[in-house]
Amino acid sequence: MKIQDLMTSGARVCQPADNLSTAAQAMWEGDVGALPVVDADGKLVGMITDRDICMAAHLRGAPLWAVPVSEAMAKVVFSCRPEQKIEDVLALCAEKRIRRVPVVDGDSRLIGLATLSMLAQAVDGEGKNKPGISAKDICRTLTTITSRREPQTSARLEVEVTRTTLAASDVITPAPRPGATKSDKKADAKAEKKADKKGSKARAGK
């Protein structure tokens, strides 16, 4: 069976210039947790999830309507073609550790969306048109996607080097929030003081 036999056609989308409030409203109306992002020609340019929206709002301390989708979306997107086999798409989910795969045509225009939950429902459904995968395949893929990533040695070294060269101004901390409580302000001040201390050590070469 091919992915075009199960994919959702006419999936809800948003555009890079839309604000996060528009994207959130589309997710609410469609009861979905992610949206493909397309340009004016319908070509896939990104993906944005409800988590992306939440973290962007938290780190910026800005209202959703003030932040464009282009600043919060994932710009590296793994997609598939409609004629690909379902087992190949499932393998892509496991390899890239993703739950949703946009389906595009030869011109990179979005024509559908395949999700891990959709494949699970197809396996569990009734009828003769069963996909060429099993419930065990779905479970194994989900386990792979949700398993903790173990950083490689080289990655650890790179992180340590980065930490020692960061200036205080380079440390990302959540933006101040209007109406924050005393405990919130105290925690923010503590985090800022800690960041300043790290920056001072980095500049001193410690």
Looking at residue 1, its pLDDT comes to: 86
pLDDT tens, position by position, 91-143:
999 999 999 999 999 999 999 999 999 888 888 876 556 677 888 999 999 99
- For the chain, the DSSP string reads -BGGGTSBSS---B-TTSBHHHHHHHHHHHT-SEEEEE-TTSBEEEEEEHHHHHHHHHHHT--GGGSBGGGTSBS----B-TTSBHHHHHHHHHHHT-SEEEEE-TTSBEEEEEEHHHHHHHHHS-SS---S--HHHHHHHHHHHHSPP---HHHHHHHHHHHHH--GGGS--PPP-TT--HHHHHHHHHHHHHHHHHHHHHHHT-
pLDDT of residue 115: 93
pLDDT value, residue 133: 85
Q: Give me the pLDDT at residue 169, please.
A: 40
- pLDDT bin (cut points 50, 70, 90) of residue 164 is very low
**pLDDT band for position 64 (50/70/90)?**
very high
Which pLDDT score is estimated for 129?
Answer: 62
The per-residue pLDDT for range 75-91, each reduced to its tens digit, is 999 999 999 999 999 99
- pLDDT tens-digit readout, 195-206: 566 555 555 554
Q: CB-based contacts of 1: which residues, under 8 Å, 6+ apart?
A: 85, 86, 129, 130, 131, 132
Does residue 186 have a pLDDT over 70? no
In the chain, where are the structural domains located? 3-146, 154-204
The 10 Å CB-count burial string (b at 16+, else e) for 151-180 is: eeeeeeeeeeeeeeebebeebeeeeeeeee
Answer whether residue 9 shows pLDDT above 60.
Answer: yes
Report residue 86 CA to chain centroid gap: 22
Higher pLDDT, 158 or 93: 93
Tell me what pLDDT residue 159 has. 38
Whether the pLDDT of residue 146 is over 70: the answer is: yes
CATH of domain 3-146: 3.10.580.10
